Amino acid sequence: MDKQNRQVVIAGNWKMNKNAAETTALLNEMTSIIKDADCKVLLCVPAINISTAVEAVKGSCIEIGAQNCHWATNGAFTGEISADMLKSFGIKYAIIGHSERRQYFGETDKTVNMRSLACLENGITPIICVGENLEEREKDITKDVIKTQIEAGLAGFTSEQLHNTIIAYEPVWAIGTGKTATAEQAEEVCAYIRQLLGEIFCPNCAKKVTIQYGGSMNASNAKELLSMPNIDGGLIGGASLKAVDFNTIVESAK
Ligand code: PEP
C-alpha cells in the first residue's frame, strides 16, 4: 500500500490556548473556510473546551480531538481525563506523548504505552508523538531515540491496534521554534519509522500506518513536507490557531 492509499490526517494542536468564547469564534471561522477537504481534518483542543468545540464543528468536515488521555477508566487521578470520558463526547482521536507532556509532566514511554492502549480499547486513535531533541540530533542518535520510543510506546500492540494508530514524528528542536526539519530530514525519519514498524509488526502492516510530521509546519512549507512519500499528514501547533493558514495547510494535502 502506497501513500495514496493511506489516510492523510491534518491535525491541529491548540495546546493551552483559547477560552470557550474564543474556541467558538475560531472554529466558526474555520468551518466557514475549510469546506472541501480531501483529508481528515482534526483540531485537538484543551479538554475543558471539548464540548464547546464539538458543538461548534457540528455539520462540518472538522473533527475534534483531545490532547491527552489517562490509562485508567476512572479513579483517584486528579486532573486527568479517561478514554471513556472522551468517548462520551464522541472523541475519536487523542494526541499521546507530546514532547511538552514528556518534558513538563513526566510522560514516559511506559505511560505513553498505557495511555495509547486505553485509547485503543475505547475506539480512540492515539496520535503517538516521537522525536529527538537537538542534543540527540547533534550526537547523531536520532534513530536510536526513535527506535526506543516506538518499541516501548507500542509494546504489546496487535497489528490491528497498529492500524488504528497514528505516529507523529516531531523533532523536539522544531516544535514552536520556527525551525522546520527539511523535507528530506523529515522524510528520512518517517521512512525509518515505517521500516521499524515493518520489522516489529509486518511490512504490510507498516504500509497502512499514517505517519505525520510535526514541527513548525506552516502555510509556506506544508506542501513540500506533505509531498514526501512517507509523510501522510501533519501535526500543527502555532499555525492551527490561524484559520487561513490552517486552511492553506489542509489545501496543501490535496
Ligand atoms: C506541536 O505542538 O505539536 C507542534 C508541532 O507545534 P508547532 O507547529 O508550533 O511547532
Question: Would you state the pLDDT for residue 158?
Answer: 98
Q: What angle do CA 159, 100, 107 make, to 5 degrees?
A: 55
The verdict on the CB of residue 240 being under 6 Å from ligand 1 is no
Residue burial 86-111, b: 16+ Cβ < 10 Å; e: rest: beeeebbbbbbbbbbbbeeeebebeb
Question: Would you state the pLDDT for residue 179?
Answer: 85
Question: Would you state the pLDDT for residue 1?
Answer: 62
Question: Would you state the pLDDT for residue 180?
Answer: 86
User: Which atom of ligand 1 is nearest to 175's Cα?
Assistant: 10
User: Which atom of ligand 1 is nearest to 170's Cα?
Assistant: 5
Which residue has the CA at smallest separation from atom 8 of ligand 1?
237
Q: How many CA atoms lie within 13 A of 71 on its CB side?
A: 12
The verdict on the CB of residue 215 being under 6 Å from ligand 1 is yes
Confirm if 234 and 225 have CB atoms less than 8 A apart: yes
Catalytically annotated residue among 63, 100, 107, 170: 170
pTM tops 0.85: yes
Which residue has the CA at smallest separation from atom 6 of ligand 1?
237
Catalytically annotated residue among 63, 98, 100, 251: 98
Confirm if 63 and 89 have CB atoms less than 8 A apart: no
Confirm if 174 and 132 have CB atoms less than 8 A apart: no
The verdict on the CB of residue 13 being under 6 Å from ligand 1 is yes
Residue by residue, pLDDT tens for the chain (254 residues) are 688 889 999 999 999 999 999 999 999 999 999 998 999 999 999 999 999 999 999 999 999 999 999 999 999 999 999 999 999 999 999 999 999 999 999 999 999 999 999 999 999 999 999 999 999 999 999 999 999 999 999 999 999 999 999 999 999 999 988 888 999 999 999 999 999 999 999 999 999 999 999 999 999 999 999 999 999 999 999 999 999 999 999 999 98
